[in-house]
């Protein structure tokens, strides 16, 4: 459409076939606009026909958002009539498949990410948020906090500090990018029950205070306070290994990041 000189004469945040009149005007071709729309639709259709549609991955990302609807897997499980014991065994098998033992003997330790909060670590796949549990944001750990203090897990720079105090991005001095997200959907609290202590661009050392928060009041407000610690540039490394054997204390190793 651009190569054919098509022009849009008014801004619209949503583009669909009902917005076609916006392309009508001097030195613009509505015909080429229509052709562009058709090509876009057919290209998308053709790519799906060629490469397929991954129902499983899409389900993890979108099926269990706050609507409370059951995911496709839950519906299929219900149809199979699996009992609680079977589900527990299936969950264990899934966890072992998602987190197989990693041989790091030939790898170099690139970074140790320490726990930013004290609490009980849980596998990321068990976090009740499909965006995190699917691994779409990267590998990491969930921690159910036992107290309301969050500190920097590495030496580095604050790349993102949400003014609401619920999430922080940190790039370590060794290049590992860490996301700390306190609670699930807690952005909706608009900063209530959080007291942020640091801003974007600040240099931090491991253990420096990022924010304080009130886990009990977050629960009372209807939100899960589980804190996600994610290595967002996971694909840059050979292995990202969570430490899940014991309760986490602040400044205790939580994730080991390995390179070749």
**pLDDT value for 209:** 96
Secondary structure class of 89 (helix, strand, coil): helix
Q: Is 181 a catalytic residue?
A: yes
Q: What are phi and psi of 79, to 5 degrees?
A: -65, -35
Q: Copy the structure tokens of residue 110.
A: 């690139």
Q: What element of type H or E holds 34?
A: helix 30-51
Which stretches of the chain score pLDDT less than 50?
Answer: 56, 59-98
**pLDDT value for 232:** 93
Q: Copy the structure tokens of residue 118.
A: 């004290």
Q: Copy the structure tokens of residue 17.
A: 């076939």
Secondary structure class of 216 (helix, strand, coil): helix
Distance of CA 131 to the CA centre of its chain: 5
188-209 pLDDT, tens per residue?
999 999 999 999 999 999 999 9
What is the distance between the alpha carbons of residues 80 and 58, in angstroms, rounded to a whole number?
22
Q: Evaluate whether 95 touches 158 at the Cβ level (below 8 Å).
A: no
* Catalytic residue of the set 99, 166, 181, 193: 181
Secondary structure class of 10 (helix, strand, coil): coil
Q: Copy the structure tokens of residue 88.
A: 């527990």
What is the distance between the alpha carbons of residues 169 and 174, in angstroms, rounded to a whole number?
15
In sign, the C-alpha dihedral spanning 153, 177, 66, 69 is negative
Secondary structure class of 242 (helix, strand, coil): strand
**pLDDT value for 101:** 62
């Amino acid at each position: 459409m651009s190569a054919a000189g098509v022009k849009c004469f008014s801004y619209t945040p949503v583009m669909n076939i009902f917005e076609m009149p916006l392309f009508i005007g001097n030195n613009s071709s509505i015909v080429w606009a229509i052709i562009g729309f058709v090509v876009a639709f057919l290209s998308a259709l053709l790519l799906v026909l060629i490469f397929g549609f991954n129902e499983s991955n899409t389900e993890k990302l979108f099926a269990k958002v706050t609507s409370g609807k059951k995911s496709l897997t839950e519906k299929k499980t219900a149809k199979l009539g699996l009992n609680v014991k079977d589900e527990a065994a299936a969950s264990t098998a899934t966890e072992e498949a998602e987190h197989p033992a990693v041989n790091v003997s030939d790898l170099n330790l690139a970074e140790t990410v320490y726990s930013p909060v004290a609490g009980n670590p849980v596998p990321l796949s068990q976090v009740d948020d499909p965006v995190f549990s699917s691994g779409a944001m990267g590998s990491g750990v969930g921690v159910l906090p036992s107290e309301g203090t969050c500190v920097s897990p590495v030496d580095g720079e604050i790349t993102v500090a949400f003014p609401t105090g619920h999430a922080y991005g940190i790039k370590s001095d060794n290049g590992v990018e860490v996301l700390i997200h306190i609670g699930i959907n807690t952005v909706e609290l608009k900063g209530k029950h959080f007291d942020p202590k640091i801003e974007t661009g600040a240099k931090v050392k491991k253990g420096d205070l990022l924010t304080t928060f009130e886990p009990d009041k977050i629960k009372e407000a209807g939100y899960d306070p589980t804190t996600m610690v994610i290595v967002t540039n996971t694909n840059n490394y050979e292995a990202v290994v969570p430490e899940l054997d014991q309760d986490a204390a602040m400044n205790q190793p939580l994730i080991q990041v390995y390179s070749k």
